[in-house]
Structure 1
């Protein structure tokens, strides 16, 4: 499905939560990434029909589902979407089976509903938990129930609102792999809101970066990481070393300890080494700034060091624009 937003915005009184956006979304798995309060959840809820835009139009393929000027606002249950919330949104008095079946009421026969629910629970590996209630499940299992409920209605689009933020780090990584696998297996499109850069980079076909109500850059994870449009994106996605007062930047992995062809160099003093499991992040003070690079071994604090970088790995932000 191709989703098109034309001039979509949201105001709450005098507060501009989302500034006018023109955007086309057509990739299978898209993340909306930004800091808290940047407008990403508001944008997601406008797509879902849970928040009415102040102005603009939204198209799902050729269907106009919202237009302020034309008075069109298709109801959420008519948009062929499902939503997975941060707090799971499960009914505590219902069994797992009843929670998953809830969205199917009145749409399919009881017999067919039973088959659909069992199939959805099988996909999320919870077929043995159908008779239990949410309070008897772990956080990860509750998240799987929420996902099963979403896929049971066979949506064209699944919207995830910070869906993994309530889980611990190990479970988050496990669930992101499962979500990707399940979404791909049912052929749905997904838009995933998060403030976690690692999560967004790992899951996305395409990313939408937001800052203070604006879309500041869109593109593949690789494009955004290697060619950020502005200093905010560069700092928000990964670690950054700045050259010439944030006019140019280089990522730590492109800083080396040995010269090569077409390299430039800098000298500095080691400030600290930080262990990350598979490598160390080395912090160096050079020209009054702290630079970072990676090595397999720690370096002694206070030691002098010379490091090198290739010109073609330095990215210029001059005249870069969001796209």
Structure 2
């Protein structure tokens, strides 16, 4: 499905939550990434039909889902969309089976619901928990129930609103893989809202980066990481070393202790080393700036150091913006 947003915006009085956006979404798994309050959840809810845009149009393929000028606003339950929320949104008094079946009411004959629910629970590996209540499940299992409820209605598009933020680090990583596999298995598209850069980079076919209500860059994770459009994106996605007062930048992995092909030399003083499990991040003061690079061992604070920079990996933001 091709999703087109034409001049979509949202105002709350004098507050511009989402600035006018023109956007085309075609990839299978798309992440909307940004800081809290940037407008990403508002944009997601406008796609879902839970929030009415102030102006603009939304099209799914060639069908107009919303148009302010044409006075079209297709109801949420008619958009073939499912949504998975941050707080799971489960009914505590219902069993797992009943929670998954809830979204099928009015859409599927009662005689067919049981098979659909059991199939959805099998996909999320919860078929043995069908008679339990949400309060008897772990956080990860509750998230799977919410996902089963979403896929049971056979949606064309699944929207995830910070869906993994309530889980611990190990469960989050596990659920990322499961969500990707399930979305792929049912042939749906997914739009996943998050503020977690690692989540966005590892899950996405393409990313939409937002800042203060505006889409500031779109592209593949590789494109956004290596060629950020502006200083906000450069700082928000990964670690950054500035070469010329936020006009040129280089990533820490392209800074070395020994000469490589096409490298230049910079001298500095080690300020600190921090441990990240598989490596150390070394902070070095050079030319009045604090740079970062990676090494397998820490460096002594105050030690003088020589750094070699790969010239072909220096990215000019002026060129990008032009």
**TM tier, shorter chain?**
over 0.9
The equivalent of 1:80 in structure 2 is 80
Q: Which residue of 1 aligns with 2:250?
A: 250
Q: Distance in 1 between matches of 2:121 and 2:268?
A: 57
Q: Could you tell me how far apart the structure 2 residues matched to 1:28 and 1:234 are?
A: 25
Q: What SS does the corresponding residue of 1:93 show, helix, strand or coil?
A: coil
What CA distance in whole angstroms lies between the structure 2 residues aligned with 1:267 and 1:128?
A: 61
Q: Deviations over 1:138-186 (max 9, x none)?
A: 1110000000000000000000000000001111111111000000000
Distance 1:236 1:133 in 2: 39
Deviations 1:60-82 (A, max 9, x none): 00000000000000000000000
**Alpha-carbon separation, structure 2, partners of 1:207 and 1:290:** 29
Say whether 1:295 aligns with 2:292.
Answer: no
CA shift for structure 1 position 288: 1.5
2:261 is aligned to 261
| Runs of 4+ that moved beyond 6 A | none
Structural RMSD (CA): 0.8
Q: Which residue of 2 aligns with 1:64?
A: 64
Alpha-carbon deviations, 1:180-213, whole Å to 9, x = none?
Answer: 0000000000000000000000000000000000
Residues 218-256 of structure 1, C-alpha deviations (whole Å, 9 max, x = no match) = 000000000000000000000000011000000000001
Query: In structure 2, what is the Cα distance between the partners aligned to 1:43 and 1:107?
Result: 26
In terms of mean alpha carbon deviation, does 297-306 or 4-13 score higher?
A: 297-306
After superposition, give the CA deviation of every residue in 1:17-75 in whole Å (9 maximum; x if it has no partner).
00000000000000000000000000000000000000000000000000000000000
Alignment of 1:172-191 (within 5 A): 172-191=172-191
Query: Separation in 2 of the partners of 1:14 and 1:110?
Result: 47
In the alignment, does 2:124 pair up with 1:124?
A: yes
Question: Per-residue deviation at 1:310?
Answer: 1.6
Alpha-carbon distance in structure 1 between the residues aligned to 2:82 and 2:65: 15
The Cα shift of 1:260 comes to 2.4
Secondary structure of the residue aligned to 1:42 is: helix
Structure 2 match to 1:16? 16
Q: Which whole-Å CA distance do the structure 1 matches of 2:42 and 2:12 have between them? A: 11
Equivalent runs, 1:218-257 vs 2, <5 Å: 218-257=218-257
Task: Give the equivalent residue in structure 1 for 2:147.
Answer: 147
Gaps of 5+ in 2: none
Cα separation, 2, equivalents of 1:288 and 1:264: 17
Partners in 1 of 2:107 and 2:207 — Cα distance? Answer: 34
Instruction: Tell me which residue corresponds to 1:196.
Output: 196
The residue aligned with 1:45 is: 45
Q: Report the Cα offset of residue 263 of structure 1.
A: 1.0
TM-score for the superposition, normalised by structure 1: 0.99
Instruction: Tell me the CA shift for residue 259 of structure 1.
Output: 1.0
1:289 CA drift (Å): 1.1
1:104 match: secondary structure: coil
